[in-house]
Amino acid sequence: MGIARGMMTTLRHVFKPAITVNYPEQQREVPVRARTNLLWFEERCTGCSTCAQACPDGCILVQTSPREDGTLNIDRYEIDFRICMYCGLCTEACPYQAIQAGGRYDDAVYVFESMYRNRQTLTGEAQKYLAGTGGRYPNGQMQELIPLTTTMPTARSRVPVAGASGPFGPQRLPGKLDHDER
């Protein structure tokens, strides 16, 4: 009876369409909000280090130096994915959504140390992601409204659109004007 039941199950599935795909030749669409990886968008980052403080594993390194206008220059931004548990606390803590969940999931590596990603690697990943989505951040905002420029004079001027009416606006400090107000 057991063998017959097993054969019946097999026969039932023989005539059903396959639910698997021939990875990696074929790849399924990843849902927009899938928490597949971490993406750091340098042009949105102010160097506030909130993400690093929120990370329970201590795998984010932010090193900054002060600018004359009171904002921070980001000297180093690095994530050690060897110890990251993809909990997403850093993405929730970031006031500017400069680090967001998303991106590729096929990042298995041969060399474990290569999971330590520095600023250059992270920016390359982010730019590749934006190129693939036509400039849409994982949170739905469009990059064309926030050009990917890393040499803007102040951190707050990098996110004028998000700050104009959205909930994730730039920090407004006394005596400091935003880019649009100059």
Binding region for ligand SF4 (CB under 6 A): 38, 45-51, 54-55, 57, 59-60, 62, 79, 84-90, 93-94, 96, 98-99
Whether the Cβ atoms of residue 61 and residue 87 lie closer than 8 Å to each other: no
Q: How far is C-alpha 83 from the geometric centre of its chain's CA atoms? A: 17
Strands, E, within the chain: which ranges? 38-40, 60-66, 72-80, 99-101, 116-117
C-beta closer to ligand SF4: residue 36 or 133: 36
How many residues belong to the chain? Answer: 182
CB of 45 to ligand SF4, least distance (A): 3
CB of 180 to ligand SF4, least distance (A): 19
Look at strands 72-80 and 60-66 and give their pairing. antiparallel
C-beta closer to ligand SF4: residue 51 or 146: 51
C-beta closer to ligand SF4: residue 87 or 115: 87
Whether the Cβ atoms of residue 104 and residue 37 lie closer than 8 Å to each other: yes
Residue whose C-alpha is closest to residue 44's, from 69, 77, 68: 77
C-beta closer to ligand SF4: residue 61 or 133: 61
Half-sphere exposure (Cβ direction) of 181: Cα atoms closer than 13 Å: 12
C-beta closer to ligand SF4: residue 24 or 140: 140
CB of 75 to ligand SF4, least distance (A): 12
CB of 62 to ligand SF4, least distance (A): 5
CB of 22 to ligand SF4, least distance (A): 31
